Amino acid sequence: MNKRPLRIGLSARVFHPQTGSTGLQSKSLHYLEQSVAHWVMSREVMVLMIPAVSGDGIVHRSSIRLSDYPQYLDGLILQGGADISPQTYGETAAHPDWQGDRVRDVYEMELLHEFMEAGKPVLGICRGAQLINVVMGGTLYQDIASQIDDAQTHVHPDYDQFSHAIEWERDSGLARLYPEISGGNVVSIHHQVIKTLGKGLQVEARSVGDGLVEAIRLQEKTYVFGVQWHPEFHPPGSDKLLDCTPILDEFLNAARGRR
C-alpha cells in the first residue's frame, strides 16, 4: 500500500473587520495566497490552511487548541502578508502604517511554538522568516528605506515582477543545497527585514549590495528555515530567477522524516 501524501499546514492570512462595513468586509476572514498552495502542491502534498481562533468567532478558545494540529500535520509553512507588529519585538511603531498585525502575530507565534515542540519542520516565507526571527528573540528594521543607509530596493510597484540578487553565506545549508552556484535572483516584496538575529539562528543568505539578511536557519535538530523572498512566485524553469524546488524538496524531506 502506498504511503499517504504529506499533509502540510499553511498559516492563515487575516482580514480584520472594517469599521462601518457590511457583508464580508464586516467579518474576520482567513485566507491564503493561491500561489503558495500551488507551489507546495507541485509535489504529492495535501495543503490545509490552519485557521486562527479569534475573539469574535463562535468557537470558544477552550474548544480547540493549535497544539492539536502538529499531531495530524507533517509540517508548517508560515506564509507572507502583513507586517510583524513592532510591539511583538518590544518596540513602538515609528509610523502609523507600520503598526502590523498583532493578532496574527500571536496566532502564528503559538502555531510556530507548537510545531517546534512537536519536532515538526517549519518553513517561513517573507513575513514567516521575520516571525521565526522574532520568536527566537530577534528584532526587525521597521522600514528598510528610511532606517538603512544605502539600502537596495526590496519592494517595488511591480510587485511579484521585481527581483534582486542574493548570495549564500559560506558553509551554509543553501551553499550545500546549490553546490554549483553562489546565489541567484529572487522575487522581493518586503519593506521590513531582520535587524538583530534571534538566538540559535544562522544567516544563510544576504542580498547583494547591502548585505541584508535573506535566509535564516535554526541550528538545532528540528528543521526551521526562513527565506525573505517569495519562492511561490518563481516560475518553474525560469532562467532569470532562482529555482526554489530544492528548498521545497528539502523541507518536504524533513517532513517525511518526522511522520
Q: State the pLDDT confidence band at 1, using cuts at 50, 70 and 90.
A: very low
pLDDT the model gives residue 62: 59
For 96-108, letters b (16+ CB in 10 Å) and e give eebebbebbbebb
What's the whole-number mean pLDDT along residues 112-124?
A: 96
Q: Which of 52-56, 64-68, 121-125 has the highest mean pLDDT?
A: 121-125
Pairing of strands 183-187, 213-218: unpaired
Residue 55 has pLDDT above 70, yes or no: no
- State the chain's maximal CA–CA distance in angstroms: 58
Residue 24 has pLDDT above 80, yes or no: no
Q: State the pLDDT confidence band at 66, using cuts at 50, 70 and 90.
A: confident
Is residue 232 annotated as a catalytic residue, yes or no?
yes
pLDDT the model gives residue 38: 95
- Identify the active-site residue in 108, 204, 232, 250: 232
- Identify the active-site residue in 126, 154, 214, 234: 126
What's the whole-number mean pLDDT along residues 226-245?
A: 95
Residue 58 has pLDDT above 70, yes or no: no
Is residue 230 annotated as a catalytic residue, yes or no?
yes
The domain spans of the chain are: 6-256
Q: State the pLDDT confidence band at 70, using cuts at 50, 70 and 90.
A: very high
pLDDT the model gives residue 28: 79
pLDDT the model gives residue 57: 54
Higher pLDDT among residues 14 and 74, named by residue: 74
- Identify the active-site residue in 230, 234, 244, 250: 230
pLDDT the model gives residue 157: 94
**pLDDT tens-digit map of 176-191:** 999 999 999 999 999 9
Residue 72 has pLDDT above 50, yes or no: yes
pLDDT > 70 fraction of the chain, expressed in percent and rounded: 95
**pLDDT tens-digit map of 139-195:** 999 999 999 999 999 999 999 999 999 999 999 999 999 999 999 999 999 999 999
Residue 204 has pLDDT above 80, yes or no: yes
CATH architecture of 6-256: 3-Layer(aba) Sandwich (3.40)
Whole-number mean pLDDT of the chain?
92
What's the whole-number mean pLDDT along residues 81-86?
A: 94
pLDDT the model gives residue 54: 59
